[in-house]
Amino acid sequence: MSSIRLLAIGEVMAEIRSQDDGFAVGFAGDTYNTAIYAARQLGAPGQVGYVTRLGDEPLSQALLAHALAEGLDVSHIARDPQRNIGIYAVVTDDDGERSFSYWRADSAARRLFAAGQAAPVLPAAEIVYLSGITLAILAPAGRVRLLEMLADLRAGGATKVAFDSNYRPALWEDRATARKTMERIWQLADIALPSIDDEMALYGDDSEEAVVARFAARDWDGIAIKRGSRGPLSPRLAADDRPDFPAAMKVVDTTAAGDSFNGGYLAAFLAGAGEAERMAAGHRLAAEVVAVPGAIIPRAS
Residues of the chain with pLDDT under 50: 1
In a domain, 106, yes or no: yes
Give pLDDT, residue 2: 61
Q: Are 53 and 77 in contact, with CB atoms under 8 Å apart?
A: yes
In a domain, 176, yes or no: yes
* H or E element at residue 191: strand 191-192
Taking alpha carbons only, the member of 194, 160, 165 closest to residue 182 is: 165
pLDDT of residue 21: 78
Task: Please give the pLDDT value at position 121.
Answer: 79
CA distance 30 to 295: 9
Q: For position 120, what pLDDT does the model report?
A: 77
Question: Could you give phi then psi for residue 51, rounded to 5 degrees?
Answer: -115, 125
Question: CB-based contacts of 214: which residues, under 8 Å, 6+ apart?
Answer: 199, 203, 205
The answer to whether position 254 is within a domain reads yes
Give yes or no for a contact between 107 and 136, defined as CB atoms under 8 angstroms apart.
Answer: no
Instruction: Write down the mean pLDDT value for the chain.
Output: 92
Specify the pLDDT at position 1: 47
Residue 97: its pLDDT value, please?
A: 66
Residues annotated as part of the active site: 259
Strand pairing report for 160-164 and 191-192: parallel
DSSP bridge pairs for 192: 163, 223
Q: How are beta strands 127-131 and 160-164 bridged, if at all?
A: parallel
Type and span of the H or E element at 130: strand 127-131
pLDDT (tens digit per residue) in 246-294: 888 898 888 889 999 999 999 999 999 999 999 999 999 999 999 888 8
**80-to-25, 30, 56, 107, 146 alpha-carbon distances in Å:** 22, 21, 7, 10, 19
Tell me what pLDDT residue 17 has: 83
In a domain, 294, yes or no: no
Q: Where are the alpha helices (DSSP H) in 70-155?
A: 132-136, 140-155
Residue 243 lies in a domain: yes
Domain that holds residue 101: 6-289
Tell me how far CA of residue 122 lies from CA of 2, 126, 134, 174, in angstroms.
10, 12, 15, 28
With both helix axes pointing from N to C terminus, report the angle between 208-216 and 196-203 in degrees, rounded to the nearest 10. Answer: 90
Q: What is the CATH number of the domain that holds 85?
A: 3.40.1190.20
Q: Which amino acid is at 185?
A: I
Asked if the structure places residue 296 within a domain, the reply is no
| Confidence (pLDDT) at 84 | 95
CA torsion angle 163 217 178 34 (round to 10): -20
Q: How many domains does the chain have?
A: 1
Residue 174 lies in a domain: yes
Per residue in 262-274, is it b (16+ CB within 10 Å) or e — as a string? bbbbbbbbbeebe
